[in-house]
Amino acid sequence: MTIDADSTEAPYAWLQDRYPVAFPLEHARVRPLKVDIRLDLLAAHPELTQQALKKMLAIWCGRPTYQKALMRGGPRVDLHGLPVGEVTPEQMAHAQERLKVLSERAKERKGAATKPVEAQKAATPAMDIHPAPAPADTDPEAQDRHLSH
């Protein structure tokens, strides 16, 4: 089986279908994964390409939810959710730094998304808009009545 390495949804579904405890749907249940869990995945699924596996794990582990799980520390889990090892203080600190970077990138993306609108507003000069003058009345008597009032 090959997985589209360019898709971000297919890897989630693939991992969650096969290993729901290690790759849960609920954010609150996300746990740090075993170090080098990719080797376990390759052994269990030789049909996976290195590229697809790397992409799947990068997507999963690169999420803020996963980084928060690392920051909390505690046990790491294998593919079946069994504890294997602990998150080290260095790994917790690294996750905290990673979260800062992810947060900054999210702010930059949000700012970049609003810049085209702001730039367009800035590039469009404000215009004084005045109502069009009323058409001149061609009836000389009507003009005289208008001026006499």
Domain at 16, CATH number: 1.10.1710.10
In a domain, 116, yes or no: no
In a domain, 132, yes or no: no
In a domain, 98, yes or no: yes
DSSP one-letter code for 36: T
d(CA 139, CA 137) in angstroms, rounded, equals: 6
In a domain, 53, yes or no: yes
In a domain, 31, yes or no: yes
- pLDDT tens digits, 103-141: 898 888 888 776 665 555 555 454 444 445 555 555 555
Evaluate if residue 89 carries a pLDDT over 60: yes
Residue 62 structural domain? 9-105
- pLDDT tens digits, 54-76: 888 999 999 999 999 999 999 99
DSSP one-letter code for 45: -
d(CA 5, CA 59) in angstroms, rounded, equals: 10
pLDDT of residue 129: 44
Tokens of 79: 């593919």
Instruction: Among 8-17, 88-97, 133-142, name the most confident range.
Output: 88-97
Residues with Cβ within 8 Å of 64's Cβ and at least 6 positions away in sequence, in order, are 99, 102, 103
In a domain, 130, yes or no: no
> Please, which pLDDT band fits residue 3 given cuts at 50, 70 and 90?
low
- Do the Cβ atoms of 8 and 16 come closer than 8 Å? no
pLDDT of residue 120: 55
Cα–chain-centroid distance for residue 99?
Answer: 13
d(CA 2, CA 53) in angstroms, rounded, equals: 10
In a domain, 140, yes or no: no
Evaluate if residue 143 carries a pLDDT over 80: no
- pLDDT tens digits, 42-58: 999 999 888 888 888 99
In a domain, 145, yes or no: no
Percentage of the chain exceeding pLDDT 90: 52
Q: Which position has the higher pLDDT, 141 or 26? A: 26
Domain total for the chain?
1
